Amino acid sequence: MPAASALFEPYTLRSVTVPNRVWMAPMCQYSAEVFGPNAGVAHDWHFAHYAARAAGGTGLILVEATAVSPEGRISPADLGIWNDTQVEALRRITTFLEGQGTVPGIQIAHAGRKASTDRPWLGGAPLAPDSEEGWQPVGPSAVAWDERHTVPTELTIDHIREIVGQFADAARRALDAGFKVVEIHGAHGYLIGQFLSPHSNKRTDEYGGSFENRTRFALEVTDAVRAVWPEELPLFFRISATDWLEEGGWSADETVRLAALLKEHGVDLLDVSTGGNASGVRIPTGPGYQVPFAERVHNESPLAVAAVGLITEPAQAEKILANGEADAILLGRELLRNPSWARQAARELGGDVHVPDQYHRSV
Ligand SMILES: Cc1cc2nc3c(=O)[nH]c(=O)nc-3n(C[C@H](O)[C@H](O)[C@H](O)COP(=O)(O)O)c2cc1C
């Protein structure tokens, strides 16, 4: 019998069945230690943060952008996945999530030219390469994000290959840590997005210029990750479907074109966000403002799709799924406000959701 609510219908990708379509979007906590043996290591804050959303009935949790190398961190306090201490700490989280029936996923990332910035609540200013916590960022081209940011060092071909390898190592470690989903961070103007967009990619070699060249790095990373990520486990890719530039930026048409290629290269689901690669651009935000991009990819490409961005109400989320605009809903800030959003939505819409035994008297 079909579930009463589309939001609470299970969803299967490869061998993984997610119990519902209420998923947590990756959200950096900028809270790891910066120096010493615990640099980039998840601790009590991260555990409590993810554990609460799992106990709240969230079907799948994407752990925040986790850097594949120290130079790939956004802030010095980002989580990392370049060593075994980091893996051990993440395993504690995946074990708890699985115990609650939540599918554990992780976003692996390299910040490129947007690396070396302070925590947002301290202003998010760029940290100078010679400051105590800062470092020299890299990018496809020596073009800074804005006038305040350090001009990145243009990546050599050897360095590009090294980073592709770091993504593969990160995926291998993610598997070791117990994750069932890996998401490659290709969005928000971080390194992969910087290569995709002609706004940030001014290269004249095989990584710049044509669509084929600008997408080369994204597809090489995808291939390297897919080669080590088990066949039976799903691979996600997050994209910014548009730079929101009139011209000279990455476009929704190119997103649809890339989606078909990503499918051929072993990606299962596109997580459709927008923006973040061009400073000073006005984004017309509002409830569900990115859903039309998800819907387009859903209609015009073979990939499964998750919608994200100002989706806050159960009825709103339900309608997106019922209209066939996306296969799953990713919630960001609303899950920060309410860790038990899934449970509340199930009550409102009528649907089965995990409730921990300890909370049974609250049903
Ligand atoms: C505190 C915070 C941290 C974020 N960190 C990440 C991140 O690590 N990776 C990412 O792709 N998006 C990140 N985002 C964007 C969210 O995943 C999401 O796409 C965005 O907040 C829009 O969804 P919402 O309106 O439901 O919050 C972050 C957003 C917030 C509020």
118 within some domain: yes
Nearest alpha carbon to residue 57 among 25, 84, 22: 22
Whole-angstrom CA distances from 153 to 139, 140, 205 are: 6, 8, 16
What is the secondary structure of 248-293 as a DSSP string? Answer: SS--HHHHHHHHHHHHHTT--EEEEE---SSTTPPP---TTTTHHH
Distance 24 CA to ligand 1 centre (A): 9
The reply to whether 36 falls in a domain is: yes
Helices (H), the chain: 44-55, 84-99, 157-176, 191-196, 211-214, 216-228, 252-264, 291-300, 314-322, 333-337, 341-349
Model confidence at 2, pLDDT cuts 50, 70, 90, reads very low
Residue 1, domain member (yes or no): no
Q: What is the pLDDT of residues 245-284, one digit of tens each?
A: 999 999 999 999 999 999 999 999 999 999 999 999 999 9
pLDDT, average across residues 300-312: 98
Confirm whether 90 is domain-assigned.
yes
**What pLDDT is recorded for position 363?**
84
Query: Looking at the 3D structure of the chain, how many domains does it have?
Result: 1
In this structure, the chain runs to a length of 363
Q: Whose CA is nearest to atom 29 of ligand 1?
A: 27
Report the distance separating Cα 348 and Cα 6, nearest Å.
13
pLDDT tens for residues 206-237?
A: 999 999 999 999 999 999 999 999 999 999 99
Residue 137 inside a domain? The answer is yes
pLDDT, one tens digit per residue, over 106-164 is: 999 999 999 999 999 999 999 999 999 999 999 999 999 999 999 999 999 999 999 99
Tell whether the model's pLDDT for residue 1 goes beyond 80: no
Residue 183 covered by a domain: yes
| CATH code: domain of residue 344 | 3.20.20.70
pLDDT for 264: 98
Over range 23-31, report the average pLDDT: 98
Q: Which of 22, 24, 27, 60 to mutate to test the pocket of ligand 1 (most atoms within 8 A of CB)?
A: 27
pLDDT band at 23 (very low <50, low <70, confident <90, very high): very high
> If you take atom 31 of ligand 1, which residue's CA is the nearest one?
333
Residues facing 16 on adjacent strands: 13
Domain that includes residue 11, residue range = 6-362
- 333 C-alpha to ligand 1 centroid (Å): 7
| 345 within some domain | yes
Q: Report residue 24 as tokens.
A: 């947590």
- Catalytic annotation, residues: 190
pLDDT digits (tens, 9 = 90+) for 113-125: 999 999 999 999 9
Mean pLDDT of 315-338: 98
309 Cα to the center of ligand 1, angstroms: 8
Give the pLDDT of residue 81. 98
Q: Work out which ligand 1 atom sits closest to the CA atom of 25.
A: 17
pLDDT score for 4:
81
Q: Give residue 271's pLDDT.
A: 98
**How many angstroms separate the alpha carbon of residue 16 from the centre of ligand 1?**
24
Is 250 among the domain residues? yes
Average pLDDT value for the chain: 97
Ligand 1 pocket, Cβ-based, cut-off 6 angstroms: 25-28, 64-65, 107, 185, 187-188, 238, 273, 308-311, 331-334
Whose CA is closest to atom 15 on ligand 1?
Answer: 27
> Coil, helix or strand for 177?
coil
* Residues 70-78, mean pLDDT to the nearest whole number: 98
Output the residue whose Cα is nearest ligand 1's atom 2. 27
Tens of pLDDT along 40-51?
A: 999 999 999 999
- Residue 3, pLDDT score: 54
Residues 9 and 14: their CA atoms lie apart, in Å, by: 16
